[in-house]
Every structure is written in C-alpha cells, then in structure tokens.
C-alpha cells in the first residue's frame, strides 16, 4: 500500500483519535505514532474497536521502555489495523517511581501476553489484570531481590 491511499487511511485514523491525541508523528517505516494520556488508553481502544470492528484489528505487542534520566517509563501499544492495512502506535508516558496504567484485558484479551511480560521484565503495573505475578520467566534469584531486568539500572 503506497501513496494516496495510505495517506487517506492515516488521516481517517487521526480523525478517529483526534480527541485523545496529544501529538502525532511517524515511526519508520510508515507507522503512525499517536501520543495519548495513560488514563485514556481504555477509551482509545474502545473507540478503535467500535470504528474498525472487533475483527478488524488486533493488538500486536506492548513495548515498555525505561528512561531513568527523565524519570519516565514509556508504554507503546502496537495495533495492527489489518482491515485497512496499517499500523498504529499508541504511546503513553507514565512516571517511573509509580508505573501504573489501566489494563486492557477485558477489552482486548490478546493483551494478556504483553501485559504479563511488561510487568515481569519492567515492573509496569496493569491495574485490573488479576494474573500479574513475578518470576514466571525471570529466575527466582533475581525476582526475589525485586529486580526488573529491563530497567537500565537493574545491574543484571
């Protein structure tokens, strides 16, 4: 998909999410990044599902990145809207000393894997997800010390 068609899809997508978007930019190669407030994530997903249909998009992955110098953790939701052949990235920033974000589990069951992974490796608490727990893949000796391996200062 190239050119005009792709741009039209992106514009319609931005139109759908314009109430929530703090800023919009592109990630290589041609993915739309839309920055939203963490408390709005659930509303954004409800909106996306209602516009593109439950069988039109799936949550591909959740990426958590640690920024110790800004005291922030960034949580990105990569959503494949495959009914219109496009990828949208929902980007949120949450404080590093109290990383909490609402869980999407009841809206998107496919979020389970990503949320558990991000919790165990980075310590982001997804509020409302009852399955979160430590040391399912991080070995016991590390999780017992309360270390989240993917934090930059974890020292492992």
Q: Which residues bind another protein (CB under 8 A)?
A: 1, 27-29, 31, 54-61, 63, 65, 76, 78, 80, 82, 85, 87, 89, 108-114, 116-117, 120-121, 130-131, 133, 135-142, 149-150, 156
Per the DSSP assignment, residues forming a β-bridge with 81 are 86
Nearer to another protein, 16 or 75 (CB): 75
Q: How far is the CB of 80 from another protein (least distance, A)?
A: 7
- DSSP annotation of 69 reads T
Q: Considering the complex, what minimum distance in angstroms separates the CB of residue 46 from another protein?
A: 13
Nearer to another protein, 39 or 131 (CB): 131
Contact 104, 42 (CB under 8 A): yes
Nearer Cβ to another protein (40/86): 86
Give the Cα-Cα-Cα angle 28, 33, 37 (nearest 5 degrees). Answer: 155
Residue in 13, 23, 79, 20 with CA at minimum distance from that of residue 44: 20
Enclosing H/E stretch for 43: helix 41-52
Dist CA 119 CA 125 (whole Å): 6
Q: How far apart are CA 137 and CA 48, in angstroms?
A: 32
CB of 71: closest distance to another protein in angstroms? 16
Minimum CB separation of residue 16 from another protein in Å reads 18
Query: Of 15 and 55, which has the nearer Cβ to another protein?
Result: 55
Separation between Cα atoms, residue 67 and residue 21, nearest integer Å: 22
Nearer CB in complex with another protein: 19/144? 144
Least spacing, CB of residue 37 vs another protein, in Å? 21
């Amino acid at each position: 998909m190239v050119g005009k068609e792709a741009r039209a899809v992106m514009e319609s997508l931005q139109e759908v999410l314009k109430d929530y978007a703090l800023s919009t930019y592109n990630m290589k190669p041609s993915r739309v990044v839309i920055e939203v407030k963490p408390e709005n994530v659930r509303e954004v997903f409800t909106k996306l599902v209602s516009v593109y249909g439950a069988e039109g998009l799936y949550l591909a992955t959740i990426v958590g990145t640690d920024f110790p110098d800004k005291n922030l953790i960034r949580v990105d939701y990569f959503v494949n809207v495959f009914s219109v052949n496009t990828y949208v990235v929902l980007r949120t920033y949450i404080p590093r000393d109290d990383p909490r974000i609402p869980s999407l589990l009841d809206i998107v069951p496919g979020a389970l894997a990503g949320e558990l992974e991000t919790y165990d490796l980075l310590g982001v608490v997804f509020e409302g997800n009852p399955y979160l727990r430590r040391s399912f893949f991080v070995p016991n000796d590390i999780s017992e010390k309360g270390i989240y391996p993917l934090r930059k200062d974890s020292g492992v």
